[in-house]
Every structure is written in structure tokens, then in C-alpha cells.
Amino acid sequence: MAGNSEYINRRIHSLLGVIPIGVFLTQHLVVNHFATRGPEAFNQAVHFMESLPFRHVLEAFIIFLPILFHAIYGVYIAFTSKSNTSRYGFFRNWMFFLQRVTGVILLVFITWHVYDTWFQSVFLGEEISFNFMADILSNPFMLAFYILGVVSATFHFANGLWSFAVSWGITVSPRSQRIMTYVSAIIFLALTYVGVAAALAFV
């Protein structure tokens, strides 16, 4: 029974990492990327997202609760799982290790990011604008921390897609898994470019 429960939890954890968390990450980075077009474009994009109907309900059930479960169970996996060199080999075990490291980094980064933006906006009445983000990222340490968070998020998502495809039976053969490695690498590079370019646009 315990083994079956763990199997279900891992499947839910994997699914939530792609839908809705992965979808939200992509959307969030795209909205931020409007900063590369200037303050007005970014402010309009943020205002559109803030004006969505049932915004707080969507945030609770599509963002916060899935991330909370994914994070808590992810920490459990990070500290209980062992690498499997006999099955996956050197490269895939490094990806396994980095997936756990980036997960821990993201736990810290997301906590800070939520406090520094969403909490400030909802509870303290701060307006999330281009100037607001520019002020935060004007600190070199915060800019470096933000970029580390973005790269950790894009890697964690892209590499997580590989394990998702394996665990859900989408890529069964070695060839399909090798192709998925290239696909996840392309997704990682593309999303990292979008996220880092957005961060640098504020400075």
C-alpha cells in the first residue's frame, strides 16, 4: 500500500511540474520578456495579467497549491532518492543530481520572489511595474540571484520534461529518450534566453 501511494504521489508530482507549473513558468517568462520592449510594454502586459477575472482563485489553485505540493514532495525526493548509475549512466545521473540541486535553489528563490513581488502587491499595495522591478534588480547581488533563479527554473522544468516523458510512458525506447534529451535542451536554452534577457532589460 505504501509503495502504491508513493507511486501515485510521484506521478502527481511529475504531472504538476509540467501542467500547470511548467505552463505558468513559460507564461511568466514571456510576460517578463515584454520588458525588452520598454517600460510601457511591460506595464501593459502586467496590467493585463492582473486584470484577469478570478485572478486570486486562479493563483491559489493553478499556481500556489500545485507549487506547494511539488516543492514539498520534491524536497522529500531530493533527500531520499539515490542516483542509478547502472540504469542511466554518467550523464543522466548528473542531470538527476542537478534536478535536485535546482529544486532546492528554487525553493529559496520562489519564496523570496513571491514575497518581493506578489506579497508586496496584494498585501502592501505596491504596484508591480517596470520601475518596481528595475529598483529590485539595480542591486548586483539581487540581479545575480534572480538570474540564478531563472536558470534553475528553466533547467528544472526542461530536465523535468525528460523524466516526465519516461515516467508517463511517452519515451520508452533509448532512441526516443535520446531525442527527448535534445528537445529538453532546446527548451532549456530558449526559455533561459527569454528569462535572462528580461532580467537584463530591467538594468
The residue ranges of every structural domain in the chain are 2-201
| Burial category of 40 from C-beta neighbours within 10 Å (exposed 0-12, middle 13-18, buried 19 and up) | exposed
Start-end of H helices in the chain: 2-18, 21-33, 39-50, 55-58, 65-80, 85-113, 120-124, 130-137, 140-167, 174-201
Grade residue 24 by pLDDT with cuts at 50, 70 and 90. very high
Grade residue 84 by pLDDT with cuts at 50, 70 and 90. low
What does pLDDT average to over the chain? 92
97-124 average pLDDT score: 93
pLDDT in tens, 112-124: 999 999 999 988 8
Q: Which residues, 6 or more positions from 15, have their beta carbon under 8 angstroms from its beta carbon?
A: 164, 168
CA–CA separation, 200 and 203 (whole Å):
5
Grade residue 164 by pLDDT with cuts at 50, 70 and 90. very high
| Residue with more model confidence, 91 or 156 | 156
Q: pLDDT > 90: what percent of the chain?
A: 77
Regarding the domain delimited by 2-201, which CATH topology (the fold level of the hierarchy) does it fall under?
3 helical TM bundles of succinate and fumarate reductases (1.20.1300)
Contact at 8 Å (CB) between 129 and 186?
A: no
Q: What is the pTM of this model?
A: 0.92
Task: Give residue 77's pLDDT.
Answer: 85
71-90 average pLDDT score: 75
CA–CA separation, 132 and 140 (whole Å):
15
